[in-house]
Amino acid sequence: MRQNTFNTLRVVTIACLVLGTGLFVIETTNASRGIGSSEGNVRTYTDDRGEWTETPTSLYFTGDTMQWELAPTSFTYNDGVHSWEETPNTITYRGPAGSWEQTPTTQSFSDGDRSLNETPTTRSYTGDDENLLETPNTREYEDEEGSSYEAPID
């Protein structure tokens, strides 16, 4: 009789432990959308949207389609359609409509059909049917038929 009682209690105890563990696992899984953590100066959070990470010098996100990173002197962004790079001296955009870039002294544009490049001393343009070049002393024009024109300017 005593042995029977002991066996029964042992089985009940094991059953309760199994059930308790199951309850904990189910509770945790259902209640938590993602996992966040903070260790030292680094914080992270991850869920089905992506992963965010913060360090003392950067903050970045990585998702299925979008990634970006912010550093003390730069910011980069890419969502699969648009991309952007920003540094102290250069900004660059690339997207469906074309790409354009700017530095303190230059700017450029290209959309596959046309392009424009400018420096402090020159400016060149390439279009569907013409090429143009402007320098401090000259202007040059050439069209698709091969006609060309050059003119010095002051």
Partner 1 sequence: MKKIVLIVFIIIVVVFAFVLMTNSQDSVKDAIKDIAGSDSSVFSKTCINEFNELYAVNKADLTQCSSAIRTGSFAGTDPTPKENNVVLIFDASGSMAGKVADERKIDMAKKAVEDFVTQLSDTKVQVSVVVYGHKGDNTDANKKVSCAGIEELYTFGSADGAKMERTLKSFEPTGWTPIADALEKAYAILKPYNTDAYNNSIVLISDGIETCEGDPVAVVQSMQERGLSVTANVIGFDVDDEASEQLNAIAENGNGSYFSAASQSELDFALQKQIDFMKKFDYRMQRVSENLQDINTATELHFGCVKALEVERAKILLDIYADERVTKECAEQVDDMYSEKYEVLQQSLWNSFDAMVQEFKQKSQ
- Secondary structure class of 80 (helix, strand, coil): coil
Contact 99, 91 (CB under 8 A): no
Amino acid at 65: T
Instruction: Scan for tokens 């029977």, then name that residue.
Output: 4
How far apart are alpha carbons 71 and 8 in whole angstroms? Answer: 63
97 is a contact residue toward partner 1 (CB under 8 A) = yes
The pairing of strands 148-152 and 138-143 is: antiparallel
Task: Kindly state whether residue 93 participates in binding partner 1, applying the rule CB under 8 A.
Answer: yes
Q: Retrieve residue 50's tokens.
A: 């992506």
Contact characters 3-42, partner 1, x per CB under 8 A: -x--xx--xx--xx--x--xx--xx--xxxxxxxxx----
Q: In the set 21, 95, 119, 144, which binds partner 1 (CB under 8 A)?
A: 95
- Judged by the rule CB under 8 A, the positions of this chain that interact with partner 1 are 4, 7-8, 11-12, 15-16, 19, 22-23, 26-27, 30-38, 43-45, 52, 54, 59, 61, 68, 70, 75, 77, 84, 86, 91, 93, 95, 97-98, 100-102, 107-109, 111, 114, 116, 118, 123, 125, 127, 130, 132, 134, 139, 141, 143, 147, 149-154
